[in-house]
């Protein structure tokens, strides 16, 4: 609070309002007259709200990056009967009440400036209209300064399905940096496609580097099994399959993976999207989250009762897990808006590493919360129907990298946050740093 107070008058007001009230509560005179305390509090609250709403009409009294927009939630709490004023009831599209042209940075809380820094801009770094080449499984390999990622498996513009594999691509961030330095606008850096082993079918999730390799989960394709694989990041991309069944039964379609910090144990999600997107048979296992210890070969379930478990992430201390449930999206079976679009927070049991004490962390207002990443300040990022949404560790939405279209994943690099947006990739040169995903 103290630091923010210097920069942000609004937070100063909050802080001084709270201070005043708590000082008065300690005053014996007022303590013996609770009604007066309450009255004082009401007066202060009204003054505070009036101050805020007066202030809300003018521009914010803190410096926002060029092109970014501050959306004060207090201005949009009441819409009345015209519910289509700022958006329609459709799941897609986003809350863009200032009608700003995407992409742009949307700030809901001044603390988002600690994420963006003062100079952040969203710039296109690669695009291929009509081909969803940049879907998920981003892995940044610092030694090569390269990001690896997969194309869309089975979805719109993925050109993959029961008969066609998706592809893994890579983009060289050194080339991205050089291209961006040569202009102020967007660039289109060549993406290279990797020639991978046939055992790698429909890569959908990734993390690492894991002991120097890329760690992928695949959804499988047709009767070829979903799997966990490690792939050397340099040609000829030597590949080892670590797991492709649960005691002889194929998984449904593995979606995402993270390694528990401080261990080499892998945790992964197994929803039904392979079947829902017509490239895998009907599910034969519950839709749940597993733990795999590659040193013993032991695999077991750590969380269940999801509609569709999807993205997964841990805090760096390994004590907290986040898993998204994207049940609202049933692929070819359509959308049911009463189902979850929710990130759940769990405690990781220190002994068993099972996930316990499930609680909702964030319900997203647009699309589904797909992949999840964390920064070193404890903020949580997820790819949603309108771009990347960012919450602080309490689950308060503090800002968005607003694209007005779906992003499934993102990854921190030395150059900033790389955002995968299906047929395009963006780089935002934010000052926040990602947590270390190296094992």
Ligand X SMILES: *[C@@H]1O[C@H](CO)[C@@H](O)[C@H](O)[C@H]1NC(C)=O
Judged by the rule CB under 6 A, the positions of this chain that interact with ligand X are 84, 86-88, 92-93, 96, 99, 102, 118-119, 144, 146, 159, 161, 164, 172, 174-175, 192, 194-195, 232, 235, 238, 336, 338-339, 404
Residues sharing a CB contact under 8 Å with residue 145, sequence separation 6 or more, in sequence order: 172, 173, 174, 413, 414
Residue 112 CA, distance from chain mean position: 15
Closest distance of CB 170 from ligand X, Å: 8
> Exposed, middle or buried, 350 (CB in 10 Å: 0-12/13-18/19+)?
exposed
39: enclosing H helix or E strand: helix 34-57
Q: Which residues, including other chains, have CB under 8 Å from residue 339's CB and lie 6 or more apart?
A: 307, 327, 328, 330
We find the least distance from the C-beta atom of residue 194 to ligand X, in angstroms, to be 5
Integer Cα distance of 63 and 433 in angstroms? 21
Q: Toward ligand X, which CB reaches closer, 256 or 325?
A: 325
Rounded Cα distance between 212 and 184, Å, is 35
Angle CA(96)–CA(99)–CA(103) in degrees, nearest 5? 75
16 vs 90 by CB, closer to ligand X: 90
Task: Classify residue 240 as left (phi > 0), alpha (psi -120 to 50) or beta.
Answer: beta
> Which residue, chain included where needed, has tokens 């499988």?
220
Q: Considering the complex, what minimum distance in angstroms separates the CB of residue 384 from ligand X?
A: 13
Nearer to ligand X by C-beta: 232 or 376?
232
Strands (DSSP E) found in 23-141: 69-70, 104-107, 122-127, 136-141
- How far apart are CB 132 and ligand X at their closest, in Å? 11
DSSP 217-268: EE--BTTBPPEEEEE-SSTT--EEEEE--BTTBPPS----EEEPTTS--EEE
* Rounded (5°) CA angle 392-317-144: 85
The gap from C-alpha 254 to its chain's centroid, in whole angstroms, comes to 18
* Identity of the residue, 96 or 207, whose beta carbon is nearer to ligand X in the bound complex: 96
State which residue, 14 or 404, has the beta carbon closest to ligand X.
Answer: 404
- In this complex, which beta carbon is closest to ligand X, that of residue 330 or of residue 393? 330
Contact between 269 and 291 under an 8 Å Cβ cutoff? The reply is no
In the bound complex, what is the minimum distance in angstroms from residue 230's beta carbon to ligand X?
11
* Spatial strand order in the sheet of 409-413: 122-127, 424-428, 416-420, 409-413
Shortest approach of ligand X to residue 340 CB, angstroms? Answer: 10
Q: Residue 232 or residue 352: which is nearer to ligand X going by CB?
A: 232
Q: Shortest distance, CB of residue 176 to ligand X, whole angstroms?
A: 9
- Judged by beta carbon, residue 193 or residue 357, the one nearer ligand X is 193
CB of 1 vs ligand X, minimal distance in Å: 24
Among residues 268 and 402, whose Cβ is nearest to ligand X? 402
From the CB of 27, what's the least distance to ligand X, in Å?
45
């Amino acid at each position: 609070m103290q630091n923010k107070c210097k920069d942000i008058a609004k937070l100063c007001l909050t802080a001084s309002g709270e201070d005043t009230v708590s000082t008065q509560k300690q005053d014996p005179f007022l303590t013996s007259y609770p009604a007066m305390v309450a009255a004082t509090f009401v007066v202060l609250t009204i003054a505070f709200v009036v101050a805020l709403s007066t202030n809300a009409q003018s521009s914010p009294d803190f410096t926002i990056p060029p092109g970014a927009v501050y959306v004060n939630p207090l201005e949009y709490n009441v819409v009345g009967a015209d519910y289509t004023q700022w958006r329609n009831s459709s799941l897609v599209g986003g809350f863009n009440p200032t009608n700003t042209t995407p992409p742009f940075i949307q700030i809901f809380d001044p603390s988002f400036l600690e994420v963006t820094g003062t100079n952040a801009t969203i710039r296109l770094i690669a695009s291929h209209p009509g081909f969803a080449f940049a879907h998920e499984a981003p892995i940044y390999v610092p030694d090569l300064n390269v990001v690896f990622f997969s194309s869309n498996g089975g979805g719109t513009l993925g050109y993959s399905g029961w008969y066609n594999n998706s592809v893994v691509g890579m983009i060289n961030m050194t080339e991205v940096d050089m291209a961006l330095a040569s202009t102020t606008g967007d660039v289109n850096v060549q993406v290279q496609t990797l020639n991978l082993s046939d055992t790698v079918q429909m890569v959908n999730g990734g993390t690492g580097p894991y002991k120097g390799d890329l760690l992928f989960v695949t959804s499988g394709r047709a009767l070829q099994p979903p799997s966990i694989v490690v792939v050397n990041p340099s040609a000829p991309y030597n590949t080892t399959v670590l797991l492709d069944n649960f005691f002889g039964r194929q998984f449904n379609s593995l979606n995402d993976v993270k390694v528990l910090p401080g261990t080499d144990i892998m945790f992964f999600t197994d929803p039904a999207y392979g079947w829902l997107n017509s490239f895998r048979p009907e599910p034969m296992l519950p839709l749940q989250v597993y733990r795999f210890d590659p040193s013993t070969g032991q695999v077991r379930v750590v969380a269940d009762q999801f509609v569709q478990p999807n993205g997964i992430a841990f805090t760096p201390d390994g004590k907290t897990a986040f898993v998204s449930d994207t049940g609202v999206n049933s692929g070819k079976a359509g959308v049911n808006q009463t189902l979850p679009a929710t990130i759940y927070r769990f405690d990781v049991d220190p002994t068993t590493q099972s996930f316990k004490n499930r609680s909702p962390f964030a319900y997203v207002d647009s699309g589904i919360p797909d992949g999840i990443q964390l920064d070193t300040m404890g903020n949580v990022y997820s790819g949603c129907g309108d771009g990347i949404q960012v919450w602080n560790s309490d689950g308060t939405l503090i800002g968005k990298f607003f694209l007005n279209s779906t992003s499934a994943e993102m990854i921190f690099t030395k150059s900033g946050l790389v955002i995968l947006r299906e047929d395009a990739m963006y780089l935002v040169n934010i000052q926040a740093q990602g947590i270390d995903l190296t094992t």
